[in-house]
Structure 1
Amino acid sequence: MQNDLLKLVETQRELRKRIGYNESDRHEKLVLAFLVELGELANETRCFKFWSKKPPSEKKKILEEYSDGFHFVLELGIEIEYDFSEPITISDVPNTTIEQHFLKLSQQICSMRYWSKGGNAFFYKHLLDDYIKLGMLLGFSWEEIVQAYYKKNEINHTRQESGY
């Protein structure tokens, strides 16, 4: 898992460099973008829509949305200069509902607005761990998450070429 994560971070750094946005509002925009992506993911799972009988989207669509958020998890870690060489160990899937996990992640993401470079490594590590756990709660393996990340990263590079 650690080697995969380090490769994912390097791949994200390449995309970051290609995008090239380095304005002073970058951090705040990343936090907001991550919140939006988390909301889009929740919407596709329909986990909170107690008023609706419509089923969740297909697993493929949910994984794609999850992958969008994973890009921002990595991006925010890069932004605060997190040391990704720190070993990560993902504990078991949490004994919470998906809704509770979405709410926990939303709180963690909002707190990131106030984080600065070089700080908050402890909290970022928990955010990264909890986002990976969300993928597990949604039924994805680590291998599926990694593959989906690379697939979406390729799409993101193509979008940069076309002026998306």
Structure 2
Amino acid sequence: MNLQKMFEMQKALDERIIKEKGLEGQDLLPNLILALQVELAECANEWRGFKHWSNNQQPCTEVTILCTSCNGTGDENEEANLEMLMEGKEGIGYSPCDDCKGTGKLGTKNPLLEEYVDCLHFILSIGNRLGWNDTDTIDDVVVQHLISEKGFDTAKTFSCLLSIAYGFHFSNVEKRTYISLFTTFFELGNKLGFKWEQIEAAYMDKNAVNHQRQQEGY
């Protein structure tokens, strides 16, 4: 995994947001910490393994993306037909949607991986914000840590990450705490079944989406 490249990409995105939103000179670290905690909770929600009260405790790893052009019907005339039927008129008939080739679907997505990568965005932002983006050190520690992975189960790993993130609110936090955050986060990814290549590719995709959102006035 090319952590240096991701740190640089995240820095470019954050600098763009700060400039375009007029946030220069503001202390954004508390926002980043809370955002990370929120995304960790959302990731846990997609994992579902802690929900002992539910019959569905399987991770949400595949969701169909419906075509927005035809509202998932596969018919490019869907809206026009509906309007005409509501007016008591005969519809103009079915025509396969060009965008989805009449299937009503555009593919699938992995919500669990998406939420995991959202967490990574804020972890990288925190590292850049504090100047703790020494990728050589982080790479070495992460690899060694994963070789001797802790015995925590997945639920405790989520809780551990939330606790570590909270610690960044205090002024005496040390760099080793950030490295612990990183190593525990990748340990979580390992437990969720993600490969480093998957994580990197998903990060690149979401980073591009985030730039597009800024372009569209998100």
What is the TM-score normalised by the length of structure 2? 0.69
Amino acid at match of 2:169: R
Q: Give distance in 2, aligned partners of 1:71 and 1:115.
A: 22
8 Å contact from structure 2 (residues 3, 135) kept in 1: no
Amino acid in the other structure paired with 1:9: F
Question: Is residue 126 from structure 1 mapped to residue 176 from structure 2 by the alignment?
Answer: no
The amino acid of 1:56's aligned partner reads: P
Any runs of at least 4 consecutive aligned residues in structure 1 with deviations exceeding 6 A, and if so which?
Answer: none
Letter in 1 for 2:184: D
| AA at the equivalent of 1:14 | A
CA radius of gyration, larger in: 2
How far apart in 2 are the matches of 1:83 and 1:9? Answer: 7
Among residues 4, 7, 10, which one is paired with 2:5 in the alignment? 7
State the shift of 1:9 in Å. Answer: 0.3
Alignment of 1:29-68 (within 5 A): 29-54=31-56, 55-58=58-61, 60-68=110-118
Number of equivalent positions = 160
Q: Distance in 2 between matches of 1:23 and 1:47?
A: 41
> Does the 8 Å contact 2:49/2:59 carry over to 1?
yes
Deviation of 1:70 after TM superposition, in Å, equals: 0.3
Greater mean deviation of Cα atoms: 77-86 or 29-38: 77-86
Correspondence for 2:101: none
Counterparts of 1:120 and 1:160, CA distance in 2: 32
Deviations 1:101-151 (CA, angstroms, capped at 9, x unpaired): 0011010000011147xx611110111111111111100011111001001
In structure 1, how many angstroms separate the alpha carbons of the residues matched to 2:28 and 2:158? 24
Separation in structure 1 between the aligned mates of residue 122 and residue 166 of structure 2, nearest angstrom: 13
- Cα-to-partner distance string for 1:53-72 (whole Å, 9 max, x where unaligned): 12321251100000000000
CA distance in structure 2 between the aligned counterparts of 1:104 and 1:71, rounded to whole angstroms: 18
The Cα of 1:84 is off from its aligned counterpart by 1.8
- How far the C-alpha of 1:25 sits from its partner, in A, is 4.0
Tell me which protein shows more strand as a share of its residues. Answer: 2
Q: Percent identity?
A: 35
Asked if the contact 1:80–1:115 (Cα under 8 Å) also holds between the matched residues in 2, the reply is no
1:107 aligns with 2:182: no
Deviations 1:3-32 (A, max 9, x none): x00000000011011101345341111110
Contact 1:33–1:72 (CA<8 Å) still a contact in 2? yes
Of residues 176, 179, 191 in structure 2, which corresponds to 1:137? 191
Matching of residue 16 in structure 1 with residue 14 in structure 2: yes
Give the direction of change, closer, same or farther, for the CA distance of 1:23–1:51 in structure 2 (3 Å limit). Answer: farther
Residue number among 59, 74, 98 corresponding to 2:124 in the alignment:
74
Gaps of 5+ in 2: 63-109
SS at match of 1:82: coil
Stretches of structure 1 that go unaligned for 5 or more consecutive residues are none
**Judging changes above 3 Å, is the alpha-carbon distance between structure 1 residues 10 and 139 closer, same or farther for their aligned structure 2 residues?**
same
